Structure 1
Amino acid sequence: MKPQPVALVTGATSGIGEATAHRLQAQNYLVFAVGRNPSALDALRSQGFQARTLDVTDEPAVTELVDEINTDHGGVDVLVNSAGFPLRGPLEQVALNDLRSLFETHVVGPLQLSQAVLPGMRARRTGIIVNIGSTGGRFTSPGAGAYHVSKYGLEALSLALRAELMPFGVRVVLIDPTGVRTRFVEAQLEETRSYANDDPYGEFKRRYDEAALALTKTPGVMVDADTVARFVMRVVKAKNPKPRYIVGLSGHATILAQTLLTDRMWERITLSRLAPR
């Protein structure tokens, strides 16, 4: 029997990943907290984490880390795929390399990490993979199309992978938070941006920035990272968790509205937020 269960958390240098790593450590997991921010990794290391530099899109590095965990600690019991980043802007102007990077991080990376840990989980007939998605994987709105597209991809990945792994005793769960209040997100939204006069989307972008910032200041719209981390722990402890969960009252309300409204009505509502004032 393993002396201590092992968790591997990506995106652990901030936000949901960092909060989840702390929650898992408090429950006596040996936590491999990985990310790309050197100073944040140093801080995690000083707090007793197995903090490692890892780019989730680097296939050889992922394989090397999981091989090390398998050899030294008997394998990964909990994988939390939390690495990610936002990407906003009209789809016509999205740089394709940025879109590829988004897909590599939000879709290919989680699958790659899952493929790396799954042989051990299947052999032990136990384990859980938690993918941190977004309510943005269940609806779309103008101005963040690339992000929505990648999160829709993670939804499909999670649901298909879950069905395939059920016979092996491995659980896959998708957690879809509403907007999450983190230092990174707040800094991005509060940043003053200027747009060229000849940019055909200039006015649209200004209205998008204003609407997004206003939403963050509306009570009840966003949740903090630890709220999501507590939900991750609830899922990890559950004997038979559901395929996916929404975290945050505003997320539940948005998904319900999107379900009840026609596509044309939903379109009008999303565009109304961006109407000139």
Structure 2
Amino acid sequence: MTTSSSRSSRPVALITGASSGIGLATALALLKKDWVVYGAARRTDRMTEIEAAGGRTLEMDVTDDASMQSGVDGITGAHGRIDVLVNNAGYGSYGSLEEVPLDEARRQFEVNVFGLARLTQLVLPGMRAAGRGRIINISSIGGRIYEPLGSWYHATKFAVEGLSDSLRIELAPHNIDVVIVQPGPIRTEWNAIARDSALEISGDGPYAAQARALHGNYHRVDHSPMSAPPEKVAATIVRAATVRRPRTRYATPVAAKLIVGARRALPDRLMDVVLARLAQ
């Protein structure tokens, strides 16, 4: 049952993929701003830090419609609204297009694109009724550039970029903002999952040399000065959530801005040469 105390004036945020990395850091950062924060992930046991900081946690799988519907209904029932949705859940599975099973390719789209889209569908009626809201989609510099052995992952992030751009115009008449955040090299579990999957799928056979080189280069990037902690991205997300008029895109950290800038400046063939070095 909804109580008057639960319908506070504090802004309400729902953050997916909140069990680690960027999602966890964002939840903690918004809690410090005195927001009502719901962290959502498949494993609630990994979100005890959010609860300890005064947040709430939800068991949610963005490939399971019932869990998403239940989560949104629970939040709106308790608070009457969701002010900001941070679509952060996602992962990168690498390997040559020839060797990645289509089931794995489909799963990446289910998590990175369709889960994001479905959760957005679920929160929009409430945002439209309130006459305001903000959708923050965590894309990647991988939505602007490309890498060998990363075709399926990059396809999902290019999709997120296009979806978000169309949605931004679509929702403008309803006073709902759509913001894209493009993280670059960040020290999270993502890097290890991506590089290990490249070896697992393509470590033997015709793409083995590329897979081994990519694995080594990703490992070096993860431990290099150009790689930033997830709190750096969280600070950008907080800014995107709280400013009166957010930008349409935020690339972060500085390395991400440089990479996106290079993509705009360089012709495709020269960019191919630069990016091919990741797998050499």
Q: TM-score with structure 1 length normalisation?
A: 0.92
Map of 1:41 onto structure 2: 47
Say which of 257, 262, 270 aligns to 1:265: 270
Amino acid aligned to 1:126: R
Map of 2:73 onto structure 1: 67
1:58-104 per-position Cα deviation (integer Å, ceiling 9, x unaligned)? 11221122112222211111110110111111111111111111111
1:100-142 per-position Cα deviation (integer Å, ceiling 9, x unaligned)? 1111111111111111111111111111111111000001111
- How far does residue 48 in structure 1 lie from its aligned partner after superposition? 2.6
Say which of 226, 234, 241 aligns to 1:229: 234
CA distance in 1, matches of 2:203, 2:113: 36
1:78-117 to structure 2, matched below 5 A, reads 78-117=84-123
CA distance in 1, matches of 2:128, 2:151: 36
Deviates more, 1:134-143 or 1:251-260: 251-260
- The answer to whether the 8 A contact 1:190-1:213 is kept is no
CA distance in 2, matches of 1:102, 1:197: 20
Amino acid aligned to 1:180: I
CA separation of 1:131 and 1:187: change in aligned 2, threshold 3 A? closer
- The answer to whether the 8 A contact 1:178-1:248 is kept is yes
Amino acid aligned to 1:231: T
Deviates more, 1:43-52 or 1:236-245: 43-52
- The answer to whether the 8 A contact 1:2-1:74 is kept is no
Say which of 203, 209, 213 aligns to 1:203: 209
1:55-204 to structure 2, matched below 5 A, reads 55-183=61-189, 185-186=191-192, 189=195, 199-204=205-210
Deviates more, 1:98-107 or 1:197-206: 197-206
Map of 1:255 onto structure 2: 260
**RMSD over equivalenced CA pairs, Å:** 2.2
Unaligned runs of 5+ in 1: none
CA distance in 1, matches of 2:138, 2:240: 12
- How far does residue 233 in structure 1 lie from its aligned partner after superposition? 0.9
Q: TM-score with structure 2 length normalisation?
A: 0.91
CA separation of 1:194 and 1:6: change in aligned 2, threshold 3 A? closer
After TM superposition, what 4+ stretches of structure 1 lie above 4 angstroms from structure 2? 186-198
CA distance in 1, matches of 2:48, 2:71: 18
CA separation of 1:93 and 1:4: change in aligned 2, threshold 3 A? same
Amino acid aligned to 2:166: A
Unaligned runs of 5+ in 2: 1-6
CA distance in 2, matches of 1:196, 1:248: 30
- The answer to whether the 8 A contact 1:195-1:202 is kept is no
CA distance in 2, matches of 1:195, 1:104: 20
CA separation of 1:193 and 1:172: change in aligned 2, threshold 3 A? closer
CA distance in 2, matches of 1:62, 1:196: 34
What number of residue pairs does the alignment pair up? 274
CA distance in 2, matches of 1:255, 1:39: 36
1:205-230 per-position Cα deviation (integer Å, ceiling 9, x unaligned)? 1111112222223322x221101111
- The answer to whether the 8 A contact 2:179-2:246 is kept is yes
- How far does residue 185 in structure 1 lie from its aligned partner after superposition? 3.0
- The answer to whether the 8 A contact 2:95-2:201 is kept is no
